[in-house]
Amino acid sequence: MVQVADYLKLPHWSTEIPLESPHVRLDVMAERGFVILSDLDPPVPEEEFLPLEYMDWKSGGDTNFAPIATADGELECRGFWKPGEERADKGGKWTSNAPKCPSLVDHVNATGADFGRVRVIKLEPQDYEQSLRSLHRDDNNRFNPDDEGWVVRQWIELTDNPGASMILMEQGPDGLPDQSTEVQVPLHRGARFVVDTQRLWHVVSNPSGTTRYALITSLESGPALDTWIHGQLP
Ligand SMILES: [Fe+2]
C-alpha cells in the first residue's frame, strides 16, 4: 500500500495553517468537511472553458489556471493578500475571462454567497502516487475577520477523466495527513461538491492520460451558502 509518509515530510507549510477559529461554519460540512451536490445537468459546454486565457501557476500538480474572478479583476493567480493589501478571499471582481464563460459566472452567482477567487484549473495527468506528493491544505481564511464566515471551496467538474478522484484526508496529530481518514470523491463531468480545503488535505489524482478541467470557487460560509447547498443535495 502506498504510504503518505513516504511522500510528505515535516516540516510542511500546510501544517501551520490554522484549523481552529471562531469563524461561522456550516453544520452540513461539520462531520466530513465536504458535501457532494447533485450533478450539473446539462454540463458546462467546452466553448466556455477551453478558450479562456490560462496562466502558468503550479498548485497540486502540473497545473494552469484561468482566473475568472480575482481580488482586483486583473488576470493573475496570486492569493488575495500581498504586502500592504491584506484582504480575505472574498469580494472577488470579474476578470476579462468572465464574459467568455457566462454560465460559469451564473453558477457562481447562483450560490448567493460572497465569492473570492474563481478560476478554472487545468490539471495534467498524474497518478495516485504522484498526486500524494502534492497533498496540501489551503490558506483560505488568512485576513478573514473572526466574526465573518469561513471560506470554503466549490468544485464543478468540466471534463470526464476516467479514474480521476479528489483525495481528501483529515490532519493527524503529527501535523500530516491521516491516511486512515482518506476519502476518494469520484470525479466525472458535471460532478459538484463543496470542500473545506483549509481543514482537509486534498489533491486530485488524474490517471486518465487526458487533461482535466474544473471550476474552483472560494465561497463564504453563511446563511446564503447554507440555503443554496441544501437546495443542491442529490
Ligand atoms: Fe488546494
Domain limits, the chain: 21-71+90-230
Question: Ligand 1 centre and the CA of 138: distance in Å?
Answer: 5
- Give 136 Cα–ligand 1 centroid separation in angstroms: 6
Give the pLDDT of residue 140: 94
Per DSSP, which regions of the chain are E strands?
Answer: 34-37, 55-56, 63-70, 93-94, 115-123, 151-157, 165-169, 183-186, 192-195, 201-205, 212-220
Q: What local confidence, expressed as pLDDT, does residue 215 receive?
A: 98
The pLDDT assigned to 4 comes to 92
CA of 123 from ligand 1 middle (Å) equals 13
Q: CA 99, CA 97: separation in Å to the nearest integer?
A: 6
> Ligand 1 centroid vs 15 CA: distance in angstroms?
13
Q: CATH number of 21-71+90-230: 3.40.50.300, 3.10.129.10, 3.40.1410.10, 2.60.120.330?
A: 2.60.120.330
Residue 203 CA to ligand 1 center (angstroms) comes to 7
pTM of the model: 0.95
pLDDT at 55: 93
> Would you write out the chain's pLDDT as a tens digit for each of its 234 residues?
788 989 999 999 999 999 999 999 999 999 999 999 999 999 999 999 999 999 998 888 899 999 999 998 999 877 667 777 788 999 999 999 999 999 999 999 999 999 999 999 999 999 999 999 999 999 999 999 999 999 999 999 999 999 999 999 999 999 999 999 999 999 999 999 999 999 999 999 999 999 999 999 999 999 999 999 999 999
Return the pLDDT at 233.
Answer: 98
Q: How far is the CA of 227 from the centre of ligand 1 (A)?
A: 25
pLDDT in the model for residue 79: 66
List the grid coordinates of 121: 484549473
First to last CA, the chain: 33
Cα of 139 from ligand 1 centre, angstroms: 8
Within 8 A by CB and 6+ apart from 84, the residues are none
Which own/partner contact pairs does 223-229 have at CB distance under 8 Å and 24+ positions apart?
Answer: 224/111, 224/112, 224/113, 224/114, 225/26, 225/111, 225/112, 225/113, 225/149, 225/152, 225/194, 226/26, 226/27, 226/28, 227/112, 228/110, 228/111, 228/112, 228/113, 229/26, 229/28, 229/35, 229/37, 229/194
**Residue 153 CA, ligand 1 centroid: distance in Å:** 9
